[in-house]
Amino acid sequence: MSISSDAYTFDGSSQDNVLVFAGHYMHCGQLMEKGGTELRRFQASRSTENVQDEALDVYLSTRVLRCVCGFQIEVPE
């Protein structure tokens, strides 16, 4: 068993109280249920030298996991 270092809340803070075991996420001693998927978009400039440069878009598919207590996290799909 291990504590997940890749589980984050929607505000980006790490959650040390989320347990990951064999690909399953647990919180409050309960298995977390999949609540859906999201597609997140990140944007960055190609260069720091040219502000007018075209931006690059990166899309990341994530799973939304929910605990019975109401706690939610988003993890990469």
Return the DSSP state at 8.
B
pTM: 0.59
pLDDT of residue 11: 45
Please state the separation of Cα 37 from the chain's center in Å: 10
Pure H helices in the chain: none
Token pair recorded at residue 45: 């400039």
High-pLDDT (> 90) share of the chain, %? 18
pLDDT of residue 64: 92
